[in-house]
A and B are shown apart, each in its own frame.
Chain A
Amino acid sequence: MVNRPLAPHLQVWKWGPAMLVSILHRVTGDGMALIGLGVLLWWLGALAGGAETYADFQALATSPVGWIVLVGLSWAFFNHMTSGIRHFVLDLGAGYELNTNKTWSALSPVIGLLLTAGFWALILLR
């Protein structure tokens, strides 16, 4: 009785990297939709408004909070991009073997972080 296998159950599961990638994909996607698009429109609207409104935007964007938001959004973009490309591969029917799936699930957020770091290095170190 004790060692009998259990059917899949809400409380009986083990963390795996594919679950993390799935959750991050939703969080970064919906986060960019709700916050990122607001910032994008604010940026475009500030540019359309003229030099003064753009200066206001720039002052906030380069404040400590602004930096956190912009770096966070760039991370969300690159993370959503790598997990999105992973989705495309899975949509082709490839990459479902257990080890392959686990490897690319673990690599996807790491590549996202590396691309984010590379992106800011390109801006700040040029």
Chain B
Amino acid sequence: MGNGTELGRVRGLGAAHAGTHHWLLQRFTAVGNLILGLFLAFSLALLPAHDFATVSEWIAQPLPAAALAMFIVNVFWHARLGLQVLVEDYVHTPGNRFAVTALLNLWAFAGAGFGLFSILRIALSGAA
């Protein structure tokens, strides 16, 4: 590759076939959120009470625990993709953008990790 302009260096190489990657992932995770978010919302709405025993016994069951764990991974993935667009639109300085993106990735992994750990602890703590 020569030292020409950015356009000159890529001209003739064809499409990278990666342009829709972010867009598609945003849609795939949106489908998951639609199903799992509605499951969480309506499960909570239909619980007979919202005290500690009722809610923790509900989460400790296999299906709600698994669905909630999938929701945590899916929703943090979707949120990370969405916030990335926000950063790209409003943080213009390259150094700041790098820093904010790094923080965003840490936030997403830490948040999902904390959520999964909490669900496991509720589900495996036996009759609470």
- Say yes or no: B34 contacts A84, CB within 8 Å: yes
- Say yes or no: B45 contacts A50, CB within 8 Å: no
- Say yes or no: B128 contacts A50, CB within 8 Å: yes
Interface of B is mostly: helix
Q: Does B59 contact A (CB under 8 A)?
A: yes
Q: Does A102 contact B (CB under 8 A)?
A: no
- Say yes or no: A119 contacts B52, CB within 8 Å: no
Number of interface residues of A (CB under 8 A): 29
B121 contact from A33, A48, A55, A91, Cβ within 8 A? A48
- Given known A32-B79, A119-B45, contact A47–B111 (CB-CB < 8 A): no
Within 8 A of B (CB), among A51-65: 51, 54-55, 58
Q: Does A123 contact B (CB under 8 A)?
A: yes
Give the interface size class of chain B.
20 to 34
- Say yes or no: B50 contacts A45, CB within 8 Å: no
- List 17 other contacts, CB 8 Å, given A48-B117, A58-B51, A77-B41: A29-B79, A37-B75, A37-B79, A40-B115, A41-B111, A41-B118, A44-B119, A47-B55, A51-B52, A54-B55, A54-B56, A58-B50, A74-B41, A77-B37, A81-B38, A84-B34, A119-B45
The chain A residues found within 8 Å of chain B, CB to CB, are 26, 29-30, 32-34, 37, 40-41, 44-45, 47-48, 50-51, 54-55, 58, 74, 77, 81, 84-85, 87-88, 91, 119, 122-123
